[in-house]
């Protein structure tokens, strides 16, 4: 078992090797203070607890951080696990160190309703601290790395949960910060616990083929070395087998076994300057056969995490493909330790880093507003951790977006005002549809108009980035509150009816404060508005307050154990199109669908009792079902919902399409509808000034999913801009 003194001496050797300018006296003082505070605590391994802060400090030293960061690493658990106070750390070690320790400290345990909420709050605090001082997250990653190295002492359940969190949050964070060396180790350790059989299979294979692999890599390395020496280029060349998780991921993606995978080898050539990088590239392509489409220049276009290198994949005489990465020594340092290396270069080891360069940290902070925890964690993985696509503005600025992004994502990455006033887009100087998937190197131009109506709700289904989704929701939250309340109320009450709960239960004054507290809103209208713009789902709202609603429901006058079931519309008396609608508290009656908004199954709906014509069904976002109109005649508005249907019924609906006027436009629109086997009732188009046009389509669909599919396909037509629900 390792002693604290042995670990302390290891830290001192690391400081002498990597950070000789460190204030040793302060480090020793911090060690003695932390040791005193943690004196009675042991780790799961039975070792003194102080060994963990010492190990974290050693990792912090190895990645090149300064004295304040080393002190904070030694003290990082004092605020959470001991009686140490913030003020005491300020007095002994300074405010900067105390703020770093506080930033790394986890939130005090709160009874959050879900794991996602706990995780989101911890991440939110971490990102807030990152935005002030990037060293916070570097210490946090070092903390997680040592915990993963000692995970064997935890229970199997804890091993899996920590490994999952590391794989989903911390390893991608290390990647986003450019810290590849730490990322690889975090991934490999996590895989060891998440899929031990898969991990062992790869390790055993690599061990069995070690001699063959070594001979191959030495052969290639010697060829490159000899060529560079012959032309007078001084460089360091070495080869490596790709790390275990990288191989594992390739096997899963390509559905292969280990022995079928050839792309296992990578070589690095490290030279003194950038011209030599490009010279080496020419010699590599002369020595070996280039694999087309596998060359990437991250020197002229660095990744957002500052990574720079030339990547090329070639095939040697043995017929085995391998990757060659070419970079300078400073690029290599940045590739290994990312922002830590960058921070050191910028500040010479003193002061705070250039956090302004990390706009993505601020985007993550923005995106957690008005978002449910589960959605935030999910979108976080998409926005920050997914593969990226790099596109250009017309002026040549590089914009990084999640893979699969569209012009909508690009517009909102520029500015929310650009996205909100967007009416079209050009990709590589050609008009593009809103849902076109952008590719690396595309030049994207956003077409805007002062008279734009703002984003469409359909955009929420099209965009890929959380940044765009959040900004669209914020626009609806601000601009369409009344509409959101109606929409949200209809969705919420539909969910209540699905669970056989009378919406009147919400009027119970004894229960209402408890309900509002549980959903964290000040009023029912605020809750309805949040559901309406997408900040919260009706299902989650109801689930959180189900017990209170059930009790309130039972106390309603005339209620027994379960509320009175809803009465379905009678099919014999109703027209054929009326089947499939349930109207609350009304027996058999005629039902018709309003022509002003043409609702289809899947749309939130509400009913209006007409004089002599039964009930007219409107979409909840229809202008003719506005809150003001409902308030004016509350007795004539009734709750309505879609009943289960056979899926064979068809419903009339209509679309209006903003287009660029051109020959053949109508034919192209008709061809899309024909290819989807949509029954068209009417199609027309009228020209507008400035080369614009508006097309009107009336057709039948079975439900809103089919309608959304039609909208999506229509947007792919050349010249089509926005697609709106229209009048039939």
The tokens 């750390």 sit on which residue? Answer: 89
What are the C-alpha distances in Å from 226 to residues 223, 234, 272, 323? 5, 11, 17, 18
Say which DSSP state 195 is in.
-
* Closest to 75 in 3D by CA, of 54, 47, 46, 44: 54
Active-site annotation holds for 81? yes
Distance (Å, rounded) from C-alpha 708 to C-alpha 714? Answer: 10
Distance (Å, rounded) from C-alpha 199 to C-alpha 16? Answer: 36
| ∠ CA 180-182-187, rounded to 5° | 90
Query: In sequence order, what are the residues at sequence separation of 6 or more whose Cβ sits closer than 8 angstroms to the Cβ of residue 726?
Result: 598, 654, 655, 656, 696, 697
What is the number of other CB atoms lying within 10 angstroms of the CB of residue 455?
25
CA 659 to chain centre: 32
Instruction: Identify the active-site residue in 80, 88, 354, 366.
Output: 80
Instruction: Identify the active-site residue in 81, 121, 168, 336.
Output: 81
Query: In sequence order, what are the residues at sequence separation of 6 or more whose Cβ sits closer than 8 angstroms to the Cβ of residue 658?
Result: 423, 692, 693, 694, 720, 721, 722, 723, 724
Tell me the backbone φ, ψ of residue 359, rounded to 5 degrees. Answer: -60, -30
Helix axis angle for 538-554 and 524-533, nearest 10°, is: 150
Distance (Å, rounded) from C-alpha 313 to C-alpha 326? Answer: 12
Active-site annotation holds for 80? yes
- Spell out the alpha helix ranges (H) of 166-307: 171-176, 180-194, 196-208, 210-230, 244-254, 274-287
Say which DSSP state 260 is in.
G
* Closest to 714 in 3D by CA, of 682, 684, 683, 670: 670
State the virtual CA torsion across 194, 199, 200, 203 in degrees, nearest 10. -150
Query: In sequence order, what are the residues at sequence separation of 6 or more whose Cβ sits closer than 8 angstroms to the Cβ of residue 596?
Result: 618, 622, 623, 624, 727
What is the number of other CB atoms lying within 10 angstroms of the CB of residue 253?
8
Q: How many helices (H) and strands (E) does the chain have?
A: 31, 20
Structure-block tokens of residue 461: 């289904």
Distance (Å, rounded) from C-alpha 725 to C-alpha 653? Answer: 8
510-532 burial, b at 16+ Cβ within 10 Å, e below that, comes to ebbeebbeebebeebbbbbbbbb
Catalytically active residues are 80-81
């Amino acid at each position: 078992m390792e002693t604290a003194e042995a670990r302390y001496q290891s830290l001192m050797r690391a400081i002498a090797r990597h950070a000789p300018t460190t204030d040793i006296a302060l480090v020793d003082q911090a060690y003695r203070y932390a040791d005193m505070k943690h004196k009675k605590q042991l780790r799961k391994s039975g070792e003194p607890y102080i060994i963990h802060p010492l190990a974290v400090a050693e990792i912090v030293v190895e990645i090149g951080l300064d004295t304040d960061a080393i002190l904070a690493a030694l003290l990082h658990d004092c605020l959470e696990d001991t009686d140490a106070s913030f003020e005491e750390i300020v007095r002994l070690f300074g405010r900067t160190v105390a703020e770093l320790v506080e930033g790394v400290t986890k939130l005090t345990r709160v009874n959050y309703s879900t794991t996602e909420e706990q995780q989101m709050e911890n991440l939110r605090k971490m990102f807030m601290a990152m935005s002030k001082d990037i060293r916070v997250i570097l210490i946090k990653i070092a903390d997680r790395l040592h915990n993963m190295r000692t995970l064997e002492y935890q229970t199997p359940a804890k091993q899996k949960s920590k490994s999952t969190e590391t794989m989903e949050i911390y390893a991608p964070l290390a990647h986003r910060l450019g810290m590849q060396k730490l990322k690889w180790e975090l991934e490999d350790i996590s895989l060891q616990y998440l899929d031990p059989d898969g991990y062992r299979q790869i390790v055993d294979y690599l061990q069995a083929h070690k001699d063959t692999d070594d001979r191959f890599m030495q052969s290639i390395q010697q060829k490159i070395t000899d060529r560079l020496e012959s032309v007078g280029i001084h460089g360091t060349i070495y080869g490596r087998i790709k790390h275990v998780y990288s191989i594992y991921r390739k096997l899963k993606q390509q559905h292969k076994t280990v022995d079928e995978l050839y792309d296992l080898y990578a070589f690095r050539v490290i030279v003194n300057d950038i011209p030599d990088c490009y010279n080496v590239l020419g010699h590599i392509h002369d020595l070996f056969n280039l694999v087309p489409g596998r060359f990437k220049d991250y020197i002229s276009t660095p990744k957002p995490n500052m990574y720079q290198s030339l990547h090329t994949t070639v095939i040697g005489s043995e017929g085995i493909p391998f990757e060659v990465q070419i970079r300078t020594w400073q690029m290599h340092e940045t590739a290994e330790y990312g922002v830590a290396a960058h921070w050191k270069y910028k500040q010479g080891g003193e002061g705070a880093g250039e956090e302004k360069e990390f706009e993505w940290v601020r985007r993550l902070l923005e995106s957690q507003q008005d978002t449910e925890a589960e959605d935030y964690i999910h979108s976080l993985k998409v926005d920050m951790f997914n593969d990226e696509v790099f596109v250009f503005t017309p002026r040549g600025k590089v914009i990084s977006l999640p893979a699969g992004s569209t012009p909508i994502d690009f517009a909102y990455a520029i500015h929310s005002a650009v996205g909100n006033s967007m009416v079209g887009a050009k990709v590589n100087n050609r008009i593009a549809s809103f849902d076109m998937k952008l590719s690396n190197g595309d030049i994207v131009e956003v077409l805007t108009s002062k008279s734009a109506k703002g984003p469409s709700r359909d955009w929420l289904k099209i965009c890929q980035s959380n940044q765009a989704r959040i900004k669209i929701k914020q626009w609806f939250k601000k601009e369409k509150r009344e509409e959101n309340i109606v929409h949200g109320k209809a969705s919420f009450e539909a969910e209540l009816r699905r669970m056989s709960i009378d919406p009147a239960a919400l009027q119970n004054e004894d229960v209402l404060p408890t309900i509002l507290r549980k959903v964290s809103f000040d009023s029912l209208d605020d809750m309805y508005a949040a559901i309406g713009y997408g900040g919260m789902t009706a299902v989650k709202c109801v689930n959180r307050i189900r017990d209170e609603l059930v009790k309130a429901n039972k106390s309603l006058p005339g209620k027994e154990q379960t509320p009175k079931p809803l009465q379905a519309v009678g099919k014999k008396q109703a027209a054929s199109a009326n089947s499939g609608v349930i109207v609350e508290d009304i027996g058999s009656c005629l039902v018709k669908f309003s022509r002003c908004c043409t609702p289809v199954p899947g749309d939130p709906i509400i009913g209006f009792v007409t004089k002599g014509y039964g009930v007219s069904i409107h979409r909840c976002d229809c202008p003719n079902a506005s809150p003001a109109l409902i308030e004016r005649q509350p007795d004539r508005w009734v709750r309505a919902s879609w009943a289960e249907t056979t899926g064979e019924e068809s419903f009339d609906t209509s679309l209006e399409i903003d287009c660029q006027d051109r020959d053949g436009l109508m034919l192209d629109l008709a061809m899309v509808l024909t290819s989807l086997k949509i029954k068209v009732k009417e199609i027309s188009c009228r020209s507008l000034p400035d080369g614009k046009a508006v097309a009107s389509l009336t057709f039948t669909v079975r439900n809103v999913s089919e309608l959304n599919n039609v909208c999506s396909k229509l947007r792919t037509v050349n010249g089509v801009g926005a697609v709106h629900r229209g009048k039939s």
